[in-house]
Structure 1
Amino acid sequence: MFTQIIKFTVKPQYQQSFKDALITNKNGTRKEKGNTDMAIFVDNTNPNMFFAYERWQDATAFEFHKNQPYTQDFITLLGDTLATAPQVYKVKDTKPYPVAITPANPEDDIFSIFFIFPIHSEFRQPLLTQFEEHIQHTRQENGNLLFDLYTVKDDDNTLVVYEHWRKESDVWDIHFNQPYAKITGAIMEQAVVGDMQQYMNFVSEITE
């Protein structure tokens, strides 16, 4: 698999045009034979911040994607619209491996998170080991729809958590009170560089 997460920060005056171009790119990408997942999001507190989650069968499928007209049009647009350079995270699967998202119910008020955080190197392996158990238990919670952990290619000291929940209270009121989550949290308090909250982006999927 070839997976990447991209964070875009857009100039305010280009917010709508960028969003429209992102939707066009997503719609084209999802038709590609080699694409297995493509989702786009906007930050809940900053309407000028967008995320793309992209997953392909392999690097060859991604190369095909880069050469499509809608991708080239989107890349051309970036030069004028972005306030800062895009942050591209080429990520690698960890165990347990990513799984398909659990279907939401019509009444669900989906709460999604990108948590991209730097860690002190000595805590890398303890965190990866703890997350194996953490993810197995989390995926069994009724409120969880998706919970994946990734490492970042060429950056051993950054980890990425990508998660979806049926509603926000499933995270704060239920998940973080689970015994395994408390153990993970205690390790995270020591492992993460600085305040964890600064690395959390709460986002909403753009479906139109």
Structure 2
Amino acid sequence: MFVRIVKMSFDDANIKHFKSVFETHKTSIRHFPGCLFLELYQDKNQPNIFFTYSYWNDETDLENYRTSELFKNVWSKTKTLFNDKPQAWSVDKVVSLP
């Protein structure tokens, strides 16, 4: 299992639209084969910056999602709203405390 973190930045006028796109597709993304967990975060000091945080079984599952019709549909609606290039990290969880 690994964690995928994606940072996205939007113009203020596009925040509501992005939240709507995420709300519409979050369940489908979460239930995509290999996705174990999904959350969306909004920065407290810069509310136009968002992060998705997801757990994946393995890199093949994430790649299958990234080449799926679901991803193409969501990404085509989301990428037009960005005001900066998104950033993504795939990380291994080292320590987790309950």
Structures share a fold, TM > 0.5? yes
Overall identity of the aligned pairs, in %: 23
Q: How far does residue 10 in structure 1 lie from its aligned partner after superposition?
A: 0.4
Please list, as runs of the form range in 1=range in 2, the aligned pairs for 1:1-20 lying within 5 A after superposition.
Answer: 1-20=1-20
Q: How far does residue 39 in structure 1 lie from its aligned partner after superposition?
A: 0.7
SS in 1 for 2:39: strand
* Aligned-CA RMSD value: 1.8
Q: Which residue of 1 aligns with 2:39?
A: 39
How many angstroms apart in 2 are the aligned matches of 1:32 and 1:76?
Answer: 18
Unaligned runs of 5+ in 2: none
Q: Which residue of 1 aligns with 2:72?
A: 72
Please list, as runs of the form range in 1=range in 2, the aligned pairs for 1:4-153 lying within 5 A after superposition.
Answer: 4-94=4-94, 96=95, 98=96, 139=97
How many angstroms apart in 2 are the aligned matches of 1:25 and 1:54?
Answer: 14
Unaligned runs of 5+ in 1: 99-138, 140-145, 147-208
How many angstroms apart in 2 are the aligned matches of 1:72 and 1:53?
Answer: 19
Q: How far does residue 81 in structure 1 lie from its aligned partner after superposition?
A: 0.6
TM-score between the two structures when normalised by the length of structure 2: 0.83
How many angstroms apart in 2 are the aligned matches of 1:49 and 1:57?
Answer: 27
Instruction: Determine which structure has greater relative contact order: mean sequence separation of CA pairs < 8 Å that are 6+ residues apart, divided by chain length.
Output: 2
Query: Residue 2 of structure 2 contacts residue 93 of structure 2 at CA under 8 Å; is this kept in 1?
Result: no
Query: Residue 10 of structure 2 contacts residue 84 of structure 2 at CA under 8 Å; is this kept in 1?
Result: yes
Partner letter of residue 52 of structure 1?
Answer: T
Residues 3 and 89 of structure 1: CA distance in aligned 2, closer, same or farther (over 3 Å) = same
